Amino acid sequence: MTAVSKPAGEPEGTAEQAALTDGIHLVVDALKINEVENVYGVVGIPITDLARVAQASGIRYIGFRHESDAGHAAAAAGFLTKKPGICLTVSAPGFLNGLVALANATTNCFPMVQISGSSERHLVDLQRGDYEELDQLAAAKPFVKAAYRVHRAEDIGRGIARAIRTAASGRPGGVYLDIPAAVLGEVIDAEKGAASLWKVVDPAPAQLPSHEAVDRAIDLLASAERPLIVLGKGAAYAQADSQVREFVESTGIPYLPMSMAKGLLPDDHPQSAATARSLALKRADVVLLVGARLNWLLGHGEAPQWNPDAKFIQVDIAANEMDSNQPIAAPLVGDVGSVLEALAERTKPGQISVSAEWKDELADRTRKNVDRMAGKLAAAREAAPMQFLGALQAVRDVLAEHPNVKLVNEGANALDKARSTIGMQRPRHRLDVGTWGVMGIGMGYAIAAAVETGDPVVAVEGDSAFGFSGMEIETVCRYRLPIVTLVLNNSGVYRGDEASTTDDPAPTALGARHERMIEAFGGKGYRATTPDEVATALREALAAGEPALIDCVIDPADGTESGNIAHLNPKGISAKQ
């Protein structure tokens, strides 16, 4: 734990040398004390030595090509481990690049800390024009859960403890920690430095609702004719997998998983209402939301998507999430595990039941939708050129042989179609665009999933989405990570067949042989033009456990503009018909 460095100009081996430390070593020691195992970043002034010292200390440093990708990796690490993922950035532009990911982490309620070096305060604050001058603390504030700056080396331990506590406790989120270059270089007494560091005890304490709140919720559930549980990514994050499963199964209530909650219970679970989603929302009269917000992804809980008379019970760690969209008849403020245990404990035997009519209604709709989908899938399987659904069925079949694979998914059509085609069997095995529907998380999330879990990763990417973080393929190859990237390449944003009205390509046009990119970095590239070729390439790549990229050539005419969310486009006079 003791950090020792040689102050500038000091000869080796003096008595003073052993008694001194500096800001850089204190940051690393504070991270070590708090059991940080991995740091994601991009080096440069003033943090290059920080990365070196971290690596030498046994922390795994993963160096990226772009700070947004490093930040997305840290965010995904936070989601997967329930501990704040750490991202390290340089000042000004590097900081701003990372801030995108920190804001995205905050929006998704993932714990993350971005530590950034910054330029000289006395120059920045008088706007005298310093190298990479920016008031980073002020810039970060609107986008994050909290932003702190350390002004003295002796406060580094406090700053890191505060950042970790804030990121992980309550509703998790992104915390910005500003450490000016001068503080990183500040030399202080090693003993004083060591004494200034501490380990955060119980960073995210359990939070329990009162008995009254629990009983109110049970009474409401017991009164329901058509109850429904909605599981969100907060439930997946909570790592309360057995409590979730036991509560769902013991009550028999049908449930809907939000996309990153898929796998909390296997997607083929008999109580899953996923394939009768619109009916379930329209008809449910009492809805138990577990770690899921009634935001745009759930139509704000409004009619006509929802039953206008539905009553809501909400389990959430954030009290102010209640009533954000609809009246919450029974708020349950607490962590998912504690709340579900309390519900299970206080429910009397037989108090909650689900009618056969409700189960049958959902089962009928499920059957119809599954049949309709089967027809579409069969047609797509045979289509030439290959369609999204043809390629994705091949991916689905191969992944069924590898339930430990972590699936990363982004794009428009690539997202919508993969989500409905590829079933998940295990919790926290699907990472996707999340609350913002953001593009660019792909390679960062995939790298973190591989680094944090050691499991193989398959990233299913639209060709446009992949482009945002595509250069990180080099990072994947440099660290020899077991990541197979499938690019569903229909040569365009949404689709690739739009005619241009000028000599330039249409705004939605793209064109790339992505498999050649990975070959440049020493990875294995495949080009697949049929579902069978996709399956063969994916099987081979997963068996090899090495970096690979499969460019799946999709019909440019296959693809819907804006995927499932086309209704969010403005409807003005130029609206594309």
Chain residues binding ligand ADP by CB under 6 A are: 108-109, 171-172, 232-234, 237-238, 258, 260-261, 291-293, 295, 297, 315-318, 321, 335-336, 435
* Least spacing, CB of residue 108 vs ligand ADP, in Å: 6
Min dist. Cβ of residue 435 to ligand ADP (A) = 5
The nearest distance, CB 72 to ligand ADP, in angstroms, is 16
The Cα 509–Cα 506 span in angstroms is 5
Beta strands 146-149 and 187-189 are unpaired
Residue 192 C-beta: closest distance to ligand ADP, Å: 37
In the chain, % helix, strand, coil (3-state, to 5) comes to 45, 15, 40
Q: Which is nearer to ligand ADP, 323 or 519 (CB)?
A: 323
Q: Which is nearer to ligand ADP, 75 or 238 (CB)?
A: 238
Q: Which amino acid is at 292?
A: A
Cβ-based nearer residue to ligand ADP, 137 or 260: 260
Work out how close the CB of 107 gets to ligand ADP at its nearest, in angstroms, rounded to a whole number: 8
Q: Which two tokens stand for residue 140?
A: 């970060």
C-beta of 69 vs 432, nearer to ligand ADP: 432
Tell me the closest approach of the beta carbon of residue 486 to ligand ADP, in angstroms. 24
Query: Which residues are CB-contacts of 137 (< 8 A; sequence separation ≥ 6)?
Result: 118, 147, 148, 149, 176, 178
Tokens of 274: 């996923």
Nearer to ligand ADP, 17 or 107 (CB): 107
Dihedral of CA atoms 236, 240, 243, 248 in degrees, nearest 10, equals 0
CA distance 75 to 184: 24
CB of 136 to ligand ADP, least distance (A): 26
- Minimum Å gap between C-beta 288 and ligand ADP is 13
Comparing every residue's Cβ against ligand ADP, the nearest one is 234
CB atoms within 10 A of CB 9: 5
How many helices (H) does the chain have, and how many strands (E)? 23, 19
CA-CA-CA-CA dihedral for 522, 527, 531, 533, to nearest 10: -70
Our CB check for ligand ADP shows the closer of 234 and 496 to be 234
Considering the complex, state which of residue 156 and residue 433 has its C-beta at the smaller distance from ligand ADP: 433
List the one residue out of 148, 52, 142 whose CA is nearest residue 99.
142
- Of the pair 335, 463, the CB lying nearest ligand ADP is at 335
Q: How far apart are CA 104 and CA 352, in angstroms?
A: 38
